[in-house]
Amino acid sequence: MTAPWWRDAVIYQIYIRSFGDGNGDGLGDIAGIRSRLTYLRDLGVDAIWVTPWYPSPMADGGYDVSDYRDIDYRFGTLAEAEELIAEVHAQDMRIIVDLVPNHTSDQHPWFQQALAAGPDSPERARYLFRHGASSGGPPNNWRSVFGGPAWTRVADGQWYLHLFDAHQPDLDWEHPDVRAEFESILRFWLDRGVDGFRIDVAHGLVKHPDLPDIETDHEDMMEPPDRTDHPHWDRQEVHEIYRGWRKIADSYGPDRVFVAEAWVAKPERLACYVRPDELHTAFNFDFLRCSWHADALRAVVDCTTEALDAVGAPPTWVLSNHDITRHVTRYGRASTRGGGSQHEPHGPVDVGLGRRRARAALLLMLALPGSAYLYQGEELGLEEVEDLPPEVLQDPTWERSGHTARGRDGCRVPLPWSGFRPPFGFGPVDTRPWLPQPQRWVSLTAELQKREPDSMLDLYHRALRLRRDHPALGEGSWSWLPSAPGVLLLRRSPGLVCIVNVSNAPTTLPRHERLLLSSEPLQDSVLPADSAAWLEVPGVG
Ligand code: NOJ
């Protein structure tokens, strides 16, 4: 029996606003995805995940949804979405959509009704409206992930909770309407043929009923709490919701899946989300947050696989996404620790070093068991754009932090596809992309890299093809082999070894029959610093 597709799929994240612009309004759209499906199929990915495409005022790039059953006019129409789903399937790929259940837009009809209905009304009970503290301030000390208080006061004096932007009021998941509505939304998209859902803020839906103060006065999204009784993150009560969702997905057959975005303290907590009757997979942010050190990487792989094996779920691996400083930039910094959240201090970046490590990291990631997520543009080796002028910044973090944190726009700059000047084929010639593309990306366009034998794009092509064809890669057994300090030696069966030199000195390749792929050119069986290789080795086990 073959394993379900999602246990070792490579899934490509499309941040729709920045992938491809079909109509020239500067914003990516469904037409832009449809015209590039062949690129994705040729790249060798198994599935795409499309970030929110629903009608939205775009206060948080679409993560503020005002209608869960339609498509924003800037992205296209529901009919186009249905065509895209069919075309993705026709290309033998799958499609996952983004579900945003923690909060709606403040323009969602429910929130508008709640505002109109007034304090203590049944309409307000779908959200978390409360009276202020006796001091006149907000009901408690919770902070928004984007900076500032997590409460906003409305005209009649009540406050509502928003763990993110003030335009993203949190729903009250104790309310039966909320539960019923999201079950219906799931069915709406499953009926349209989507293969699964990425669940936004999966660890945040349920809040402590008393909404008590948090002892520390600042909870960073990037610093998940290492405790089980946090008032709003990773509470036990969320699991019951997912057990209900799993039943719905299963009723559509074994191939519809969920992936949780859950920022939790440790793999054991993540494993709770992917128990057999809950979600199928969850992003493993520990890998993304890990520093470029052999021992640290090995420890993350060990802890992750151990915790997930215990519940029978496959691990996932991810290096970048639309919320995090791109990994070329992270790996190019002296301190490579951390996901590069907007709250982290910046340091000088050696982009060349970052790209070199990114190439090696790809070979490690794709050699590990389980499934992997790629973020659009990483196959081109894009770095974070850290010099966007302040006047173009759109991430709500910029305003909410009082202009102290620039936010996540730097990893969301529209892709360079072709040509010699912006918009680099992102849209028709006169398109002005919603964020400006740096002229230096002229050397990173997909068109150019397709013709360069050792480009980043070429490495992705070759690695993904091998991963698909080689019987040892994907699901299956694995083990570490003894190795020199700073070197990772990962054995996959049958007959493959992945070696990653994370140290700053060259190392010798182990005995092998054939070099399958390397992230850098090799000479005389020497693997340079910050590089990796896949080797065919003798033996079965
Ligand atoms: C996580 C998403 O990835 C991020 O982009 C968004 O701002 C927050 N959730 C809030 O929806």
pTM: 0.97
Atom of ligand 1 nearest to the CA of 146: 7
191/49 same-domain check: yes
Q: At 264, which amino acid appears?
A: V
- Separation between Cα atoms, residue 389 and residue 395, nearest integer Å: 13
Atom of ligand 1 nearest to the CA of 63: 11
Q: Strand (E) positions, 298-407? A: 316-318, 371-375
Atom of ligand 1 nearest to the CA of 163: 10
Closest by alpha carbon to 258, among 247, 191, 172?
247
124/252 same-domain check: no
- Separation between Cα atoms, residue 94 and residue 89, nearest integer Å: 6
Report the half-sphere exposure of 321 (CA within 13 A, side-chain side): 21
- Tokens 């302040």 belong to residue: 390
61 is a domain residue: yes
C-alpha of 198 from chain center: 9
Q: Atom 11, ligand 1: which residue's CA is nearest?
A: 63
349/481 same-domain check: no
Q: What is the model's pLDDT at position 215? A: 82
- Separation between Cα atoms, residue 251 and residue 232, nearest integer Å: 30
361/503 same-domain check: no
Rounded to the nearest angstrom, the distance between the alpha carbon of 450 and the centre of ligand 1 is 32
Rounded to the nearest angstrom, the distance between the alpha carbon of 54 and the centre of ligand 1 is 14
521 is a domain residue: yes
C-alpha of 11 from chain center: 10
Q: Which residues of the chain have pLDDT under 70?
A: 1, 216-224, 336-345, 540-541
- Tokens 């009923």 belong to residue: 209
Rounded to the nearest angstrom, the distance between the alpha carbon of 138 and the centre of ligand 1 is 23
Torsion angle, CA of 324/32/79/184, rounded to 10 degrees?
-10
| Structural domain total, the chain | 3
Instruction: Point out which residues pair with 533 in neighbouring strands.
Output: 499, 518
Cis peptide before 423 (omega within 30 of 0): yes
270 is a domain residue: yes
Atom of ligand 1 nearest to the CA of 321: 3
CATH label of the domain that carries residue 518: 2.60.40.1180
Out of 161, 185, 200, pick the residue that ends a domain: 161
Residues 6+ apart with CB under 8 A from 462: 517
462 is a domain residue: no
Q: Give me the sheet containing 514-518, strands edge to edge.
A: 478-480, 487-492, 496-501, 531-536, 514-518
Q: How far is CA 58 from CA 26, 72, 289, in A?
A: 14, 10, 28
416/480 same-domain check: no
Question: Could you tell me how many residues make up the chain?
Answer: 541
Q: Give the domain extent around 142.
A: 109-161
Which residues have any ligand 1 atom within 6 Å of their CB?
60, 63, 100, 164, 200-201, 261, 322-323
384/424 same-domain check: yes
Which pairs with CB-CB distance under 8 Å and at least 24 residues apart come from 30-33?
30/71, 30/75, 30/76, 30/77, 30/80, 30/81, 30/84, 31/76, 31/80, 32/426, 32/427, 33/84
318/434 same-domain check: yes
Q: What is the model's pLDDT at position 539? A: 72
430 is a domain residue: yes
470 is a domain residue: no
For residues 335-368, one letter each, b for 16 or more C-beta atoms within 10 angstroms of the residue's C-beta and e for the rest, the string is ebebbbbbbbeeeebebebbbbbbbbbbbbbbbb
> What pLDDT digit, counting tens, does each position of 67-77 carry?
999 999 999 99
User: Of 29, 200, 323, 409, which one is the catalytic site residue?
Assistant: 200
Atom of ligand 1 nearest to the CA of 64: 11
Pocket test for ligand 1, best of 50, 53, 60 (most atoms within 8 A of CB): 60
* Enclosing H/E stretch for 534: strand 531-536
Pocket test for ligand 1, best of 201, 222, 321, 394 (most atoms within 8 A of CB): 201
CATH label of the domain that carries residue 36: 3.20.20.80
186/128 same-domain check: no
* Enclosing H/E stretch for 440: none
Rounded to the nearest angstrom, the distance between the alpha carbon of 227 and the centre of ligand 1 is 22
469 is a domain residue: no
Out of 134, 161, 188, pick the residue that ends a domain: 161
Rounded to the nearest angstrom, the distance between the alpha carbon of 199 and the centre of ligand 1 is 10
Cis peptide before 494 (omega within 30 of 0): yes
Rounded to the nearest angstrom, the distance between the alpha carbon of 110 and the centre of ligand 1 is 21
How many other C-beta atoms lie within 10 A of the C-beta of residue 464? 22
Q: What is the model's pLDDT at position 342? A: 45
Rounded to the nearest angstrom, the distance between the alpha carbon of 477 and the centre of ligand 1 is 34
454 is catalytic: no
Helix then strand then coil, % of the chain, to nearest 5: 30, 15, 55
User: Of 261, 383, 409, 530, which one is the catalytic site residue?
Assistant: 261
Q: Atom 5, ligand 1: which residue's CA is nearest?
A: 323
* Enclosing H/E stretch for 99: strand 94-99
189 is a domain residue: yes
Q: Atom 2, ligand 1: which residue's CA is nearest?
A: 200
124/98 same-domain check: no
SS (H, E, C) 189-258: HHHCCCCEEEECCCCCCCCCCCCCCCCCCCCCCCCCCCCCCCCCCCCCCHHHHHHHHHHHHHCCCCCCEE
Q: Atom 6, ligand 1: which residue's CA is nearest?
A: 63
126/273 same-domain check: no
- Separation between Cα atoms, residue 262 and residue 35, nearest integer Å: 32
Q: What is the model's pLDDT at position 337? A: 58
Q: Atom 3, ligand 1: which residue's CA is nearest?
A: 323
How many other C-beta atoms lie within 10 A of the C-beta of residue 384? 26
- Separation between Cα atoms, residue 127 and residue 117, nearest integer Å: 13
410/317 same-domain check: yes
- Say if residues 14 and 49 touch (Cβ distance below 8 Å): yes
Rounded to the nearest angstrom, the distance between the alpha carbon of 270 and the centre of ligand 1 is 18
147/288 same-domain check: no
Closest by alpha carbon to 280, among 317, 233, 243, 323?
243
Pocket test for ligand 1, best of 97, 98, 102, 200 (most atoms within 8 A of CB): 200
CATH label of the domain that carries residue 128: 3.90.400.10
Instruction: Point out which residues pair with 349 in neighbouring strands.
Output: 333
Rounded to the nearest angstrom, the distance between the alpha carbon of 164 and the centre of ligand 1 is 8
The burial class, CB within 10 Å (0-12 / 13-18 / 19+), for 4 is middle
223 is catalytic: no
Q: At 90, which amino acid appears?
A: A
489: its two tokens: 């030696």
Atom of ligand 1 nearest to the CA of 60: 7
Residue 136 region by backbone torsions, left for phi larger than 0, else alpha for psi between -120 and 50, else beta: left
Q: What is the model's pLDDT at position 229? A: 86
